[in-house]
A and B are shown apart, each in its own frame.
Chain A
Amino acid sequence: MTAAIKTNKLKRFKNLEFILGVLLIGGIGLAVIFSGWLFPGGGSELNLAYRLTPPLVEPSFPLGTDPLGRDVLARVIIGGEISLKVGVYSALGAVVIGIFMGLVAGYYGGFLDMIVMRFADVQLALPFILLAITFIAVIGGGLTNMIILLIISQWVQYARLVRGSVLSLRDREFILAAKAIGVKDVRILFQHLLPNLIGPVIVLMTLNVANNILLESSLTFLGLGVDPVIPSWGGMLAEGRTYLQTAWWVSVFPGLAILLTVLGLNLLGDWLRDVLDPTGRTSL
């Protein structure tokens, strides 16, 4: 059967997706976790004599150096810590809050729904930069605050997505059947509704992680993020921008790091979504 052949091909592709994703994310994750041990100097020693060395020229700087003579490889790996923390934590936080709000608003509807959704509308109408400047000015900068800021600005997307799915699912017969049996609301929300709508949420989340890594860099660039001395991928991208024509490696390698992380997360997210769907048909 061609259908069977197709599913086989699909399965093989799915496995490849998983292996690639694990390799990418696992490799990057391990490198970042052991970065302190790999580069005890923290990648901030200045070697002005070697400034802007191209990659593969000096054996001690395999990926070259930046305008201050700092090791690009060390900074890329150490900078991963901030970038991944911001990207992953903010996406996770936004997912958790967004799912909860979306489930409750969609399932119970009425006044509660109106409050949550109008609040979401107001927030969507507010430009991100304005929100960011106000927030950082009042609360102050730093890693934690930036993550909180990103969560506040992004939970709305998840809430809307989840609410939409709940609205279409809640009148389906299997939810009605659960109600007829007497299943409690909490269980209907988390055992029946959640697994049925998680697919698109995972996809959105993997996209958001990437987006947040970039947002961190723009915030840092504006002076609203973390201390610019601490390396981060976004920060390095911004720094290297002015040297793009003369010293491409300063910005290309952190860019590549972001690209590979995002690719790895997307592969894993895709794989996870399909694994969670027992029918094997891809939703979305």
Chain B
Amino acid sequence: MTTTPALSVRSLSVNFGSNRVVKNLSFEVYPGKTTAIVGESGSGKSVTSLAIMRLVEYMNAEITEGSILFHRDAHGDVQDLTQLSDKAMRKIRGKDIAMIFQEPMTSLNPVYTIGDQITEVLVLHEKHTQASARAEAVKLLKLVRLADAEALLKRYPHQLSGGMRQRVMIAMALACRPKVLVADEPTTALDVTIQAQILTIMRDLQQELGMAVIFITHDMGVVAEMADQVVVMRHGEKVEEAAVEEIFARPQHPYTQALLAAVPKLGSMQGEDLPRMEPLVELKGDITHTRGESRRQDTAKLDVTPVVEVENLVTRFDIRKGFFGGISHRVHAVENVSFTIFPGETLALVGESGSGKSTIGRTIQQLQESTSGTVRFGGKAVADMSRAEKMRLRQEIQYIFQDPFASLDPRKTVGFSIAEPIRTHGLLHGSKAIRQRIDQLLERVGLSADQAERYPHEFSGGQRQRICIARALASKPKLIIADEALSALDVSIQAQIIHLLMELQQDEGLAYLFISHDMAVVEKMSHRVAVLHLGQVVELGSRRAVFDTPHHAYTRKLLSAVPVADPSQRRERVLLQGDILSPIRKVGDEPEHLLLKQVAEGHFAAQEASGHRLVS
């Protein structure tokens, strides 16, 4: 380790008004090394990154105490960033210290080409001429492994995929060969395979350029892959700092222990036939304690009529273009998908963006018309149902969305929202009976009855998702479709909600269609898994079969891309190539339907010899 750190933060405090969001924080980053700052929402990790860039001042916050020392080189040229003038800071920002943000679309200006935006930085900071800046831009795009860099310069941000945009952002950040790179959740908005690509590129570039990287994330898996040193933050304070192996092997602080216990680890269920309800590790004050027992989730009734049978489901969206509005392209969101869900069973649909997993959920919930195929509920085809029967379906199938805040009406009390299914389907009469049921439901999901009169914005993210679950339970459904219902939550909250969902399954015999991109969560709670790619099932089988003996190349690719929250298992990774393929095709160019072949009892996988290039 080099003796001089590139950046050292010393007892830094940041205030929003009189509200202290970062308290007395100290850490260091060394050249060529990565310090990860981890924490859940509200821990102050993002504010810390903005403080280093001195961008907090634009958010009406101020650095009240401490210093941020930037060591330009090993010979003692030190600058305290907190003391610099705005003008001096502008010279450092983007040149010596660069930043990458979470959302690559919003961080790029949509009306300028990629080339314009990269050259702007070079002309501004490096005093390049336009021509030399363009040549340098091409070099930079090649550096982040973007093929066909010259053509890319003329493109606009919206013409690139999410992963490509994030690589462009990295290229821009690296334009002036910064000494320190601050990366604020750079892969959170990306699919796992793309995340794996970006992480590999970042690690390689760090080696090449000897940068110090401050990596801010909530994902312990990413930490295990990337970090050398880890700073754990909670409520604006550092609770623990150690080398990455130490943190994972011997976490000292109870908060770190609870956090690590909550992280679902891919591969932890190896060899188990059924999902297992794990006890919850909770933090009360500064002491961890465990609640609940470890129990096999033996709830699936496979010998009765399935709750839902989906047969050869196809859903396509037309894209109209041109003067006469003719259909030129189609989005092949779902192609020939079949599966069944039994009472008490959790079927997981996994896949990356554009795999059609949400469209399947929405089609079953009748929020989306299918192009062809049948959906049977309780043995009867939905297409043959009367209006009243279809209405009844809306009672028996409930949907939970990804963002609990967006799916609750902000102008209505949560009590009103929970009562909505009861009122809509006339399940109870009289406001007193309804009120009692609401109280009961709120308590069932771990909230208290007196919270019914409050509005959604008065709750935390986890509580809001509990409210959405209470609303879903209100109509006594048989099937709950959970569409990325855990993705927006912090890991500790996520663990609690998983626990709640499994408990409800045990008590009420609920079936779940669990739609997720998160392989580790899927492994934890599902009985069977269907892997989707470009709208088609490429592999379907019991959780154990799919995770322990993945058969299809795409499943294996997905599994290998998931960062594992264990630094001792850090793999030398080959760069996964290729982008996520688009499900948009020209009219007439229909995708070939994959044939599922039984590879073992109840385990199906698509044949790959069909010339259908799945993994590019």
Contacts and interface: CB of A to CB of B under 8 A. Distances in A.
Contacts of B457: 278-279
Contact of B424 (A172, A174, A182, A276): A182
Contacts of B365: 180
Given A174-B410, A195-B411, A278-B411, A179 B17 contact: no
A187 B426 CA distance: 14
Interface in B1-53: 16-19
A45 interface: no
B410 A2 contact: no
A277 B456 CA distance: 12
B39 to A, nearest CB: 21
Contacts of A174: 406-410
Contact of B394 (A172, A180, A195, A278): A180
A187 B406 CA distance: 19
A30 to B, nearest CB: 33
A184 interface: yes
A131 interface: no
B63 to A, nearest CB: 16
B7 to A, nearest CB: 30
Size bin of chain A's contact surface: 20 to 34
Contacts of A2: 16-19
Contacts of A130: none
Contacts of A178: 409, 420
B407 A1 contact: no
A243 to B, nearest CB: 51
A49 interface: no
Contacts of A192: 409, 411-412
Contacts of B367: 176, 179-180
A218 to B, nearest CB: 38
Contacts of A277: 411
A181 B409 contact: no
B47 to A, nearest CB: 15
Given A174-B406, A174-B407, A181-B398, A3 B425 contact: no
Contacts of A184: 424
Nearest to B475: A181
Contacts of A47: none
Contacts of A1: 17-19
Interface string B568-579: 000000000000
A15 interface: no
Interface in B369-400: 391, 394-395, 398-399
Nearest to A198: B411
B409 A196 contact: yes
A228 B17 CA distance: 59
B421 interface: yes
Contacts, number: 75
A179 B366 CA distance: 9
Nearest to B409: A174
B28 to A, nearest CB: 31
B120 interface: no
A183 B424 contact: yes
B317 interface: no
B136 interface: no
B248 interface: no
A67 to B, nearest CB: 53
Given A181-B424, A192-B409, A279 B455 contact: yes
B401 interface: yes
A196 to B, nearest CB: 5
A176 B425 contact: no
Given A184-B424, A192-B409, A173 B19 contact: no
Given A176-B367, A177-B399, A278-B455, A182 B394 contact: yes
B403 interface: yes
A109 to B, nearest CB: 15
Interface in A186-245: 187, 191-192, 195-196
Interface string A1-12: 111011000000
Interface string A244-284: 00000000000000000000000000000000111100000
A183 to B, nearest CB: 5
A173 B17 contact: no
Interface in B426-479: 455, 457, 468, 471, 475
B406 A173 contact: yes
Contacts of B468: 177
A139 to B, nearest CB: 40
Contacts of A183: 420, 424
Contacts of B391: 182
B392 to A, nearest CB: 9
B368 to A, nearest CB: 10
Interface in A120-151: none
A216 B365 CA distance: 53
A25 B421 CA distance: 42
Most buried by A among B395, B411, B421, B455: B411
A178 B410 CA distance: 13
Contacts of B407: 173-174, 176-177
Interface in A1-50: 1-3, 5-6
Nearest to A276: B411
Nearest to A176: B367
B569 to A, nearest CB: 37
Contact of B401 (A176, A195, A278, A279): A176
A174 B420 CA distance: 12
Contacts of A180: 365, 367, 394, 398-399
B274 to A, nearest CB: 29
A5 B411 CA distance: 25
B421 A181 contact: yes
A279 B394 contact: no
A2 B20 CA distance: 11
A7 to B, nearest CB: 11
Most buried by B among A177, A187, A192, A278: A177
Nearest to B403: A173
B470 to A, nearest CB: 13
Contacts of A3: 16-17, 19
A2 B411 CA distance: 26
Nearest to B393: A182
Contacts of B403: 173
A181 B367 CA distance: 10
A73 B231 CA distance: 75
A196 B411 contact: yes
A277 B457 CA distance: 11
Contacts of B425: 182
Nearest to A199: B411
Contacts of B17: 1-3, 5-6
A196 B410 contact: yes
A278 B19 contact: no
Nearest to A191: B412
A5 to B, nearest CB: 8
Contacts of B424: 181-184, 187
Contacts of B398: 180-181
Most buried by B among A173, A180, A191, A195: A180
Contacts of B475: 181
B399 A195 contact: no
A278 B410 contact: yes
A173 B401 contact: yes
The 9 closest A-B pairs by CB, nearest first: A2-B17, A182-B394, A173-B407, A173-B406, A195-B411, A278-B455, A180-B399, A177-B407, A174-B409
Given A180-B394, A180-B399, A182-B395, 15 more contacts: A1-B19, A2-B16, A2-B17, A3-B17, A3-B19, A176-B367, A177-B471, A181-B394, A181-B398, A181-B420, A182-B394, A182-B421, A191-B412, A195-B411, A279-B457
5 contacts: A174-B408, A176-B407, A180-B365, A180-B399, A278-B457
Interface of B: 16-19, 365, 367, 391, 394-395, 398-399, 401, 403, 406-412, 420-421, 424-425, 455, 457, 468, 471, 475
